[in-house]
Structure 1
Amino acid sequence: MEYSFSFEAIGTGWRVDSASPLPAGQKAGLLRIAEDYDALYSRFRADSGITALAVSGGSLPLPGHGARLGRLLRTLHDLTGGGMSPLVGERLADQGYDAGYSFVPTVAPAPARAWDDLLEWTDDGVSLSAPALLDVGAAGKGQLVDLMLEYLLAAGHGHLIVDASGDMRRTGSGSITVALEHPYDPSSVIGTVALTEGALCASASNRRVWGDGLHHVLDARTGRCVDTVVATWVLAEDAMTADGLCTALFVADPVDLAGSFDFDFVLMYSDGRARYSAPLAGALFS
């Protein structure tokens, strides 16, 4: 596309490609959407809503899109038998992925606290019966991609790509070819995917590594880092769903998710094997 706008938000690089130019007001609007989202959900900010819940518990009102995020996270929590949970935030912090990026584990791994004992997520917001550190990173970046794309669609743009460092959503005619980065060698790829309309998201345990076997993808049932799956890619209608499914595939079989979601996937295991849905059979290099 002819026009691009690049910026930093929520700790990563973003790029918006469009067929028509983005006026200054729309660029500012994208930055405002990112800032508002970060101010709600970042567990790395002392002034965020999530941090306030971690200090005192209680309730945090959320905008309308918070209900969509909560429903997705609850569904994935249930489908994974609790393997995926926003309550994993405090376990990540315990293992060193904390607000100060200490990268020093302070306690032995332990299961995340139970959702039904502590957390209530309704259409109005989040309530905690006791202080707890939540983490919505399993699907939050994908939702922010969706919010930015929806904002630009409402402003009259029709041919767009919103790309948050590889988690992307596209609308418009034609297609683009996206490379699937090899998790053990960033200079090579394991295949390519054609993205028409919809979202492609990826997750890899090598993205945030700070010790022997320590990375950002935990199984909430054990509090331990997942060591069987090393990378996932998902094609879905929207980026929030694709992002959430990428995380869920680290702790659940695709069959367990397919009854509730329409998606295609590629999985790469720690022993080098790959698994993929039938429509992506030609996406991987032999």
Structure 2
Amino acid sequence: MTPADPARRRLLLAGACLAAWPLAASAARAPQRVRDSRALMGTRLDVAAQGPDAEALQRAIDAAFARMTALSALMSHYAPASQVSAIGLAAGLQPVEVAPELMQVLHMARDVARRTDGAFDPTVGALGLWHFDAPQSSIPTASEIRRRISSVDWRHLVLDERRQTAYLTERGMRLDLGGIAKLSILQSGLDTLQAHGVGTALVNGGGDVVACSQRGDAPWRVGIRDPRAPQRLLATLEVRSGFVASSGDYERFFVQDGRRWHHVLDPRTGRPTEGVRGITLVADSLEAVNGLGTAGMVLGARAGRELLRRGEGVEALIASADGGLWMTDRLRARLVPVAG
């Protein structure tokens, strides 16, 4: 493969990010590259893998999608038969036994809620009167929000590790793990690929990316959309392994009466957040970023910056509603501007 080969610049587009195929260090190895895309978790998931055998790569990708589909069914608050829905139905009545994978996510959700003083709150599912997908988009009334918001309080989520149960202590409470489950599910997809012997892979879904690359392979090139103009690419970023997580008001929204109503809800008001258009976080570990994008949008640009400055190993970008763009020095040094 010569440097001028256009395959070197081929991009995968999904959500708020796009990613290029990594290049092998040696053309003699002639690696196979397989990509597959499927709808899951209300978005499009792209899985890309590189290795010596295309058929083996496709089998690994199929296994990764099967794993992510199973976990999505387990954790979706939209699916009536999910364990998350069961926890809501049993709220105020009894604990519900949950799978270890869900227990792990619930512990992470409660920890992020504690660290952010409730700016991230997994019990915002009680505010399910909002609908952001056409043609059923709708805005609840102020009185409906007041009735439901009293059921939003992460401190009433009780986890029993010994019995492996989760319990919402008050009737009317509901879970919504949308701000924290997806990245964990994508990580499980990547883990599945690696368990099948894939050393270089990327999983990309709705603005969240998790990637790995083995020695000798070039890093993935991930594109960062400008939250102020989501149709435009702001910059690219090389990622060998780790996470790129994006939250924004441009993924699921509708416009009514001249205002954009988006799906990131402020648990303090019961209404969509204001002041921040989008946040992108980059880190090596899941725990360093998961849930913090949602919390930063709730807190607003100034308090969000302070939250992310306290995070260890996190590089961040925040686009505020007034047009401002802030980023950490390390991320600024890594970004490659896009011509035009």
1:247 alignment partner in structure 2: 294
Shift of residue 136 of structure 1?
0.4
Aligned-residue sequence identity (percent) comes to: 21
RMSD: 2.5
Aligned-partner Cα distance in 2 for 1:247–1:13: 20
- Which of 48, 53, 75 is the matching residue for 2:87? 53
Quick one: which amino acid aligns to residue 321 of structure 2?
A: S
1:64 alignment partner in structure 2: 100
1:13 alignment partner in structure 2: 44
Q: Does 1:115 align with 2:140?
A: no
Aligned-partner Cα distance in 1 for 2:311–2:104: 15
Shift of residue 260 of structure 1?
4.9
Cα deviations by residue, 1:86-120 (Å, 9 ceiling, x for unpaired): 111122x223359x97321233244452222x311
Quick one: which amino acid aligns to residue 327 of structure 2?
A: Y
Q: Does 1:278 align with 2:313?
A: no
Which aligned pairs between 1:1-286 and structure 2 lie closer than 5 A?
Answer: 1=21, 2-20=33-51, 21=54, 23=56, 25-57=59-91, 58-91=94-127, 93-97=128-132, 102-108=136-142, 109-110=145-146, 111=149, 113-116=152-155, 118-123=156-161, 124-129=164-169, 130-172=171-213, 173-210=217-254, 211=256, 212-239=259-286, 241-252=288-299, 253-282=304-333, 283=335, 285=337
Cα deviations by residue, 1:61-109 (Å, 9 ceiling, x for unpaired): 3333333322321222122221110111122x223359x9732123324
Aligned-partner Cα distance in 1 for 2:113–2:135: 26
Shift of residue 142 of structure 1?
0.4
Write out the 4+ residue segments of structure 1 that deviate beyond 6 Å after TM superposition. none
Shift of residue 243 of structure 1?
4.0
Matched position secondary structure for 1:69: helix
Which sits farther off after the overlay, 81-90 or 203-212? 203-212
Shift of residue 234 of structure 1?
0.5
Shift of residue 48 of structure 1?
1.8
Matched position secondary structure for 1:71: helix
Quick one: which amino acid aligns to residue 278 of structure 2?
A: A
| 8 Å CA contact 2:61, 2:193 repeated in 1 | no
Quick one: which amino acid aligns to residue 223 of structure 1?
A: G
Closer, same or farther: CA 25–175 of 1 in aligned 2, 3 Å: closer
Shift of residue 214 of structure 1?
1.8
Matched position secondary structure for 1:26: helix
2:7 alignment partner in structure 1: none
Query: Which TM-score applies when normalising by structure 2?
Result: 0.75
Closer, same or farther: CA 44–241 of 1 in aligned 2, 3 Å: farther
Where do 5+ consecutive residues of structure 2 fail to align? 1-20, 22-32
Cα deviations by residue, 1:208-244 (Å, 9 ceiling, x for unpaired): 1124342111111221211101101000124565342
Aligned-partner Cα distance in 2 for 1:88–1:238: 25
Which sits farther off after the overlay, 105-114 or 218-227? 105-114
| 8 Å CA contact 2:64, 2:190 repeated in 1 | no
Matched position secondary structure for 2:117: coil
Where do 5+ consecutive residues of structure 1 fail to align? none
| 8 Å CA contact 2:60, 2:198 repeated in 1 | no
Which sits farther off after the overlay, 226-235 or 179-188? 179-188
Rg larger in 1 or in 2? 2
Closer, same or farther: CA 240–209 of 1 in aligned 2, 3 Å: farther
| 8 Å CA contact 2:228, 2:319 repeated in 1 | no
Aligned-partner Cα distance in 1 for 2:309–2:112: 11
